[in-house]
Amino acid sequence: MTGELFGAIGEGDVERLRELLDVRPDLAAARNDEGLSAVLCATYRGADELVAALLDANPALDVFDAAAVGRTRGLAELVDAEPSLASAWSADGFTALHLAAYFGQRDAAELLLDRGADVNAVARNESLQLTPLHSAAAGGHSSVVELLVEYRADVNARQRGGV
């Protein structure tokens, strides 16, 4: 059923996703072959209805999920219990700060910065090599860009290819 779940997410099929979760709510906590959660996959897809359906099933969120969807209370609990999570790396090579920045979750980004996240962390993937500032700019989130600059983000940082 995990394949069906990720298929529904990939196709943007909210009805099918809800049907699957009605039968097996535990599927909301599933991970794909790359190690990304269903919540993060749906968030990357930009499909708020898919994300809402998954969150309604109440899966345990990891630090990356919580940052991406702006669940700051859960994010704070996770990072306070294990401070190293503020600088941990997701399966796709981003920190929670990258994800909060990309998805415009200003409060989550500020929480992570206040708890020691590296404002200039460079993504650990072969194709992008982004900083959180690049992520916020790519997502079009000026308030997060301003926050990162306040926390001394390198405004001259370059990503792969010198961009």
First to last CA, the chain: 41
Tokens of 121: 């962390």
150 shares its domain with 76: yes
Instruction: Determine the pLDDT at residue 162.
Output: 65
| Residue 89 backbone phi and psi in degrees, to 5 | -115, 135
Same domain, 8 and 33: yes
Burial classification of residue 137, based on how many CB atoms lie within 10 Å of its CB (0-12 exposed, 13-18 middle, 19 or more buried): middle
pTM of the model: 0.93
Vertex 76: Cα angle to 73 and 78 (nearest 5): 110
Q: Do residues 27 and 97 both lie within one domain?
A: no
Domain that holds residue 38: 2-56
Clarify whether residues 119 and 45 are in a common domain.
Answer: no
In the chain, the number of structural domains is 2
pLDDT per residue as tens digits for the range 77-117: 999 999 999 999 999 999 999 999 999 999 999 999 999 99
pLDDT less than 70: residues of the chain: 160-163
Question: Does residue 47 sit in the same domain as residue 117?
Answer: no
Q: Is 90 found in the same domain as 13?
A: no
Q: In Å, how far are 35, 37, 106 from 134, measured between CA atoms?
A: 23, 23, 14
Helix (H) and strand (E) counts in the chain:
10, 0
